[in-house]
Structure 1
Amino acid sequence: MHVTRQISRRTILKATGVAAGAAPIATAATPSVAAGGPFAHPGLLHTGADLARMAAKVKAGASPYTAGYAKLTANRHSQSDWTARPQTTVYRGAELRPRSTWPQNYGILYNDIHAEASP
């Protein structure tokens, strides 16, 4: 008598997870910061020198720097009367949980970040 065993989907997924965990994982090299060196935020794309150069271009009236600066300062988030609305917890993806009691509020975070980054 020959018995064949059917493999369940769960068994396949477990085996796939084990195989993936055993595979070498390539990680991006992280630049090291020398002790006592200045902190450089990894999310910022502009250096202090870049900002100084752009400020000089705006002051000199060079295009397209002046047009970009005018657009930035016209935004309501860059006005001195903008009031941030800090959130205790940021919720994202609440629409994926229809019975969730927490409404999605991460858009408020984006507004506050934009206002903080404005001149």
Structure 2
Amino acid sequence: MLDVDVTTEKDLDFEYESVQKYKKDFISTRRGIEKVIVAASRHVSPAPSIDSSASQDGAVKRNNKLPKIKLKKFGGKIKEWIGFWSQFRNINKDETLDPSHKFHYLLQAMGEGGKRDVV
């Protein structure tokens, strides 16, 4: 707080600049928070599909049996990555799978060249 009797123009300029910096930081922080809120609202889990139903504990149960899909093996070559990830990301996104099961699927899908850095 400024003492009116001893306040100089330099003090007023300093206070003004401090307030302006505070306002700028506040607005910047607020925009950042708003971006995070908008991004988080886009990642809300979708409702169960028509051929799925939720049990009382909230778990989704599938009513149909899908054929097993054999995962492509990833051998560590960059050329193989897109094909591998296009299949594996469905496992990664599946919220009904335990993370340890997802990791087990990942290890099974790794070829010899891909395993050396994982385990």
Would you call these one fold, judging by a TM-score over 0.5? no
Task: Report the TM-score, using the length of structure 1 for normalisation.
Answer: 0.29
Rg (Cα) greater in structure: 2
Larger proportion of helix:
2
